[in-house]
Amino acid sequence: MSDLCRIEDLTVTYAGETRPALEAISLTLARGETLAVLGESGSGKTTLARAVIGLLPQGARVAGRIDWPGGAARPGRDIGYVFQDPGASLDPVLSIGAQLVEVLRAHRPLDRRRAREEAARLLARVQIPQPELALAAYPHQFSGGQRQRIAIALAIAGEPALLIADEATSALDTLVQAGIVALLRELVDEMGLSLMLVTHDIALAASLCQRILVLDHGRMAELGPARQVVTQPSAAITRQLLDSRIDLASPSLLARAP
Ligand SMILES: Nc1ncnc2c1ncn2[C@@H]1O[C@H](COP(=O)(O)OP(=O)(O)OP(=O)(O)O)[C@@H](O)[C@H]1O
């Protein structure tokens, strides 16, 4: 597998802060690789994802490097981003079709008719029923799970090499969450996408990703194959995250680690 993204000694300090939110992060993400970024609230997961996509807030100081050996990555086109709240991706006053067509035409040389056909195909791909009709509907007409599926359609519309899912399932109830996780897994397999899954849920990380990076107060606590991280954790914080998941889901957590 060739390298998609190389992060070297990345340190990010927000404006007005003295303590970095992220410190000395180094890792390489291969093409087609699935990586979970795991940690407690405030450990720096979103900061890492925002740094990768190049969308840190103004005034944030960045040291270190993020290299894209295949050429600079453009948000939207080369990197798709799915937020926890689909409302962050979807415009409430535009129809789903208009939003998808806009993104498709910004990134791909499609005329309006072809873009609309492609939009319907994308909605079908993320399992929105009656995609032709759905194009004319507005975000509030869909359930939370369906809105997240539409946000995923928007994120993959530019045929990105990397999809970042930032707590994309944590606001959803368990069954709906399982459906979105299954969809992400299918898309990664079919499109050869790299996935960066930002989560505080070690079971989810292990079930979906090949490697897990554990962050603790902005630092790398541990990075390794998912199975190894969940069966032989080397960092205290990973053991804590595991302990907090010792419930009925735990046996499947170990069985499903890639
Ligand atoms: N815009 C900002 N300005 C100042 N500090 C910030 C800003 N955004 C985040 N932080 C701080 O940076 C640290 C890391 O935050 P970050 O959102 O990356 O963590 P996280 O692991 O994604 O947390 P969560 O799971 O709660 O989203 C936290 O201490 C947070 O308070």
Expressed as residue numbers, the domain containing 191 is 3-256
Q: For ligand 1, is residue 39 a contact (CB within 6 Å)?
A: yes
**Ligand 1 atom at minimal distance to the Cα of residue 44:** 18
Report how far ligand 1's centroid is from the alpha carbon of 40 (Å): 11
pLDDT at residue 246 greater than cutoff 80: no
DSSP per-residue string spanning 13-68 = E-TT-SS-SEEEEEEEEETT-EEEEE-STTSSHHHHHHHHHT-PPTT-EEEEEEE-
Q: Compute the distance between CA of residue 255 and CA of residue 38 in angstroms, rounded to an integer.
A: 19
- C-alpha 172 chain-centroid distance: 15
DSSP-derived secondary structure letter, 157 = T
Asked whether 44 lines ligand 1 (CB < 6 A), one says yes
pLDDT bracket for residue 129 (50, 70, 90) = very high
Answer for the pair 161, 194: CB distance below 8 angstroms, yes or no: yes
Look at residue 248 in the predicted model and tell me its pLDDT.
39
Lowest mean pLDDT of 75-79, 132-136, 157-161, 220-224, name the range: 75-79
43 lines ligand 1 (CB under 6 A): yes
| Nearest residue to 258 (alpha-carbon basis) of 233, 230, 238, 236 | 230
The ipTM is 0.97
Q: What local confidence, expressed as pLDDT, does residue 73 receive?
A: 75
pLDDT in tens, 61-71: 999 999 998 87
47 lines ligand 1 (CB under 6 A): yes
**Which residues is 12 bridged to in the sheet?**
22, 62
- Cα of 228 vs its chain's centroid, Å: 22
Q: What is the CATH number of the domain that holds 43?
A: 3.40.50.300
Q: Is 41 in the pocket of ligand 1 (CB under 6 A)?
A: yes
Domain tally, the chain = 1
Tell me the average pLDDT across 93-109: 95
Q: What is the pLDDT of residue 87?
A: 81
> Rounded to an integer, what distance in angstroms lies between the CA atom of residue 6 and that of residue 69?
8
